[in-house]
């Protein structure tokens, strides 16, 4: 049986996030602020449209999407990317394609849902960041 995706989560640990952001070309000040943030994530679903809201003390971002349908996303660091999110069992894959004219890189955010939360992997080039989110009680 598939793990429940809809719910509220709080980041518990993060490894390699600064290196991941650096590989994406995020500036030093933004990286320092983002590295100290402990995001809360809320995922909801309504008639096939998912909404993913990420809240930190610095910034709140929200995306709405249908699985498998490309959409334009503005990332927390201000890049505008073309994203597609798919779901295979307990694994949600979020592909972000950067603007090649601006030399922006592509990244893949993989979220594996389990009974206790989300194991997330963020990848750009050969740089991998791991972030663990714990499910919050409703």
Angle, helices 28-36 vs 17-24, to 10°: value is: 150
What Cα–Cα distance (Å) separates residue 12 from each residue in 4, 69, 99, 125, 130? Answer: 19, 30, 31, 25, 11
27 membership: H or E segment, kind and range: none
Domains of the chain are 7-132 (2.40.128.20)
Confidence grade of residue 138 (pLDDT, cut at 50, 70, 90): low
pLDDT the model gives residue 3: 65
**Residue 79 exposure: Cα atoms within 13 Å on the Cβ side:** 22
Q: What's the rounded Cα separation, in Å, for the pair 119 and 16? A: 14
Q: pLDDT by residue (tens digit) across 69-122?
A: 999 999 888 889 999 999 999 999 999 999 999 889 999 999 999 999 999 999
């Amino acid at each position: 049986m598939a793990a429940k995706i809809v719910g509220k989560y709080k980041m518990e640990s993060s490894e390699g996030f600064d290196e991941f952001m650096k590989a994406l070309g995020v500036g030093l000040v933004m990286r320092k602020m983002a590295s100290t943030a402990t995001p809360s994530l809320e995922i909801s679903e309504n008639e096939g449209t998912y909404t993913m809201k990420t809240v930190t003390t610095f910034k709140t971002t929200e995306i709405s999407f249908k699985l498998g349908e490309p959409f334009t996303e503005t990332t927390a660091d201000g890049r505008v990317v073309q994203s597609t999110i798919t779901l295979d069992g307990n694994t949600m894959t979020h592909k972000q394609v950067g603007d090649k004219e601006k030399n922006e890189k592509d990244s893949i955010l993989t979220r594996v849902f389990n009974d206790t939360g989300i194991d997330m992997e963020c990848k750009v080039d050969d740089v991998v960041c791991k972030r663990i989110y714990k499910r919050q009680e409703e």
